[in-house]
Amino acid sequence: MNILLINGPNLNLLGMREIDIYGEMTLSELEENLVLIAQNQGHKLLCIQTNAEHEIINAIHDAKLKNNISSIVINPGAFTHTSIAIRDALSGVEIPFYEVHISDINNRE
C-alpha cells in the first residue's frame, strides 16, 4: 500500500518552535520514524511538507493521477479551519484520508 503523508504550513519548524506544545523532534526525524514503521508493515510512505495551499492541493491531485496512493494522512496545520479548497480536493480524489494533528486543536484554536 502506498500512503501519502502531507504536512502543512510551519510544520517544517518542528523541534524549533513552541517546543512545549510540539516537542523537540524535527519533521525529518518524525518522517524517518514513520517511513520505517510503514516499511515494517509492508507499506511505502511518501512524505511532503509545504507552506503553500496550492502545493497541498496539487499533491492530493497527484496522489490520484500519478502516484497510485491508497490513502492520505494529512496534518493541514494552519489550513485546518480555513481551507475549503483542500477539503474539496480530498473529497474529489476519492482516496481515504485521515486528518491528524500533533496537538489538541480544540484546546488551542
pLDDT digits (tens, 9 = 90+) for 3-42: 999 999 999 999 998 888 888 999 999 999 999 999 999 9
CA pair distance 102, 77, nearest whole angstrom: 9
CA pair distance 38, 93, nearest whole angstrom: 22
Q: pTM, whole model, 2 decimals?
A: 0.91
Specify the pLDDT at position 73.
98
98 catalytic? Reply is: no
54 catalytic? Reply is: no
Helix (H) or strand (E) holding 7: strand 2-7
Specify the pLDDT at position 69.
98
Catalytic residue selected from 54, 81, 98, 101: 101
Which domains, and CATH codes, for the chain?
2-101 (3.40.50.9100)
pLDDT tens digits along 51-93: 999 999 999 999 999 989 999 999 998 898 889 999 999 999 9
CA pair distance 107, 32, nearest whole angstrom: 28
